[in-house]
Amino acid sequence: MAKNYYDELGVSKGATEQEIKRAYRKLAKQYHPDVNKDPGAQDRFKSIQEAFDVLSDPEKKANYDRYGSPDGPSFGQGFGGGGETYGEGSSQFEDLFRQFGGGSRTTSRTFGFEDMFGSFFDQAVEEDLDETVRVNIPLSQLTKESKVSLRLQTGTVNVKIPQGAYEGQKLRLKGKGSRVGQSGNRGDVYVDLHFADDDTYRREGEHIVTVKRLRPLEFLDGASVIIATLDGGRVKLKVKPGSRPGQRMRIPGRGVMTGSKVRSDLFVQLEVDLPLDETYRSVYEQIER
């Protein structure tokens, strides 16, 4: 059964070009995979995009309205077996010649098998205009809103990294691709996000570890410390007296966002802060005795 592109966009067959554009923008915003994470949203978005590609193109729309296909009449339609007949003197036969570049049947140009089927299969080739760019984001940048600058063939763009970004998330840059289709429109660029360890945070499985250094007396007497979390917040921790270097404190749900939309845990590893300064030599020598 042929798709009903008008139903896909929720417009009537007599809808104007502006009405079709408004309906597409509203639905595309609602079902775009970067916004809508429902299981069927991506397939729905593809159907919306396909419908708009046809109904926004005057030639494809005319073919669809007349023949039920944006590519024009199918070759099994009308050549025997009932239905409309594409034969001598029929207006459909004239349309078929015009559709595939043959002009009128009375033209002096020879219209043969190669013309008809060559043109048909050229139209059937699906254009792949989209590109993917991998970007490595230091984990520390996830503690606040940040941007990365990308130098594309079409120019330099600043991409905002959203709070709650997760490993493998793809951000769409519409019309920023270097490939241009037959319609003159550029493809999209998808920014593939990946996280990288840095001096402050490192990954252990799906969880995150950060190091907090304390002075020796803070281990003995206890202390309060402030930790920046990867969701952009800050957490106050109380270190108990008698804690030991290497001990870890767990902050649940304040690590990095996972693909399942659940934040991992952040572990704070306590280490001793020993100043390497000559003024402390006498103290270290006394400890060594």
Average pLDDT over residues 144-159: 84
- Is 11 in a helix, a strand, or coil? coil
What would the pLDDT profile of 201-257 be if each residue is shown by its tens digit?
A: 999 988 999 999 998 889 889 999 999 988 778 999 999 999 999 999 999 999 888
Q: What distances in angstroms separate CA 279 from CA 57, 142, 275, 282, 285, one per listed residue?
A: 79, 39, 9, 7, 11
What would the pLDDT profile of 51-63 be if each residue is shown by its tens digit?
A: 999 999 888 888 8
Average pLDDT over residues 15-34: 87
Q: What distances in angstroms separate CA 97 from CA 29, 68, 182, 214, 272, one per listed residue?
A: 40, 18, 22, 83, 84
The predicted pLDDT at position 285 comes to 65
148 and 133 Cβ atoms separated by less than 8 Å? no
249 and 265 Cβ atoms separated by less than 8 Å? no
The confidence band for 26, taking pLDDT boundaries of 50, 70 and 90, is confident
